[in-house]
Amino acid sequence: MEELETGFDFKKVALPSDFELTEFTTQVQNHYSRGYESIKTLRTQLQEEDQKFHDQSANREKINDYSFFSLHSALMARTYSDKPKTTWNNSGVGIATLIAKNLNHAYKNDMDTPEMARMQYQVEYDKYKSGVGIMVRTGWDGYNKKPTYETVDPMLVIPDPDGDYIQDTYKFIGFESTKFKNEFPKYWQNTENLPDATTTLTLEAKRLKENAGITDSYQLERKVIYSCFEYWKGELYFSVWGNNRTTLLYIEKYEPELEEEKTNNFVAINKFVHKTNWKPKRDSFFGHRLAIFALNVQDARSLIATLRFQMEKSTLYPMYIANTRLIQDRTDLDFGFNKVIFANPME
């Protein structure tokens, strides 16, 4: 593991003197393996559910049903709102009223933005489609003096299989993602030799820029990144990895900020990872999923509609059989629309 420390300048990050990168890397890799094994089968199910959710393929022999999509849209229309669910109010006068106004003003500046509205919509969308919506606090906007957030595709989460999914307490949680290299923060290290994403995830964009008669060509490829929150010796770290979690790009140790955190000397992961379930479930990070209840109905409706279609079609185009004793090839008796089986009674 000596190569892990090559090229990473630990002087640029505030880490304790007893921090061991080799042991920390082994812990990250072991946790990833455990988390991936616990989610591997469910990830396949989510992919299949996603295909049925977006299935609009034309098939002359099958009637599609969109119960899952329709129910999802109905729940979104009924529950989603871009208005704040909680505000500060004070009916008195003086300093209490000013505090309430300032808090509401801070909320409006921090949260009531088009970008935040888009992310909140995505969280609600994922909550009903996959069972869970995830928003992660990724950093601090020094210019606007507010935290920054990103949404996470539920199919790319690596959860702690032993976590408490009701209390949202975990020993670790990770997220796979892909990013364009020009999206990497400037403070990331070891970003030069990261492999491109696989063919299914690679997105290439080429554009020409003409400036004073000079034409430059740009080609952008996505890189596979793994980000995770981990506890090391009771302290919370956030790290970013490449090359299948062997190349450290960034690491940060979170210090206690709130009074309760300082008293307990503990920073919880759910301070940074905000999870919203459709219906929480004690033994599942994803909770109960709408697809489990909707897709069996969708499949049944599709089957019944298809059978009715085939029955009506067979009535309109019946199959005729003539003198079956003279049919030499018995496979001719297989059903077919408007099918005629010819037999020569003179032979």
- Examine the domain organization and report whether 335 and 293 are in the same domain: no
Does any domain span residue 227? no
Q: For every one of its 347 residues, what pLDDT tens digit does the chain have, with 9 covering 90 and above?
A: 333 444 455 555 667 777 888 899 999 999 999 999 999 999 999 999 998 888 766 677 788 888 899 999 999 988 877 666 667 676 666 677 777 777 776 766 666 778 888 898 999 999 999 999 999 988 777 777 777 889 999 999 999 999 999 999 999 999 998 888 888 888 888 888 787 765 433 333 444 444 444 444 445 567 889 999 999 999 999 999 988 888 899 999 999 988 999 999 999 999 999 999 999 998 899 999 999 989 888 889 888 988 988 888 888 877 776 666 666 676 776 777 777 777 666 65
- Examine the domain organization and report whether 74 and 133 are in the same domain: yes
CA distance to 144, 189, 191, 242, per residue, from 186 (Å): 19, 8, 10, 16
Does any domain span residue 183? no
Report how many domains make up the chain: 2
Does any domain span residue 338? yes
- Examine the domain organization and report whether 292 and 330 are in the same domain: no
pLDDT at residue number 11: 56
Show Cβ contacts of residue 195 under 8 Å, excluding neighbours closer than 6 positions: 223, 224, 243
pLDDT at residue number 65: 87
Q: Mapping DSSP to helix (H, G, I), strand (E, B) and coil, where does residue 184 land?
A: coil
Question: What crossing angle do the helices spanning 290-316 and 67-79 adopt, rounded to 10°?
Answer: 140
Strand partners, 172: 230
- Examine the domain organization and report whether 70 and 129 are in the same domain: yes
Q: Among 269, 253, 247, which residue's Cα sits nearest to residue 29?
A: 247
pLDDT at residue number 72: 92
- Examine the domain organization and report whether 272 and 331 are in the same domain: no
- With 0-12 / 13-18 / 19 or more C-beta atoms within 10 angstroms meaning exposed / middle / buried, residue 153 is middle
DSSP state of 271: G
pLDDT at residue number 139: 79
pLDDT at residue number 109: 66
Does any domain span residue 216? no
Handedness of CA 69, 161, 176, 224 (dihedral sign): negative
Does any domain span residue 237? no
Query: Domain residues for 88?
Result: 2-176+261-298
- Examine the domain organization and report whether 288 and 325 are in the same domain: no
Does any domain span residue 142? yes
Does any domain span residue 294? yes
pLDDT at residue number 215: 46
Helix (H) / strand (E) element for 293: namely helix 290-316
Does any domain span residue 72? yes
Three-point CA angle 159, 131, 184, nearest 5°: 55
Show Cβ contacts of residue 204 under 8 Å, excluding neighbours closer than 6 positions: 219, 220, 221
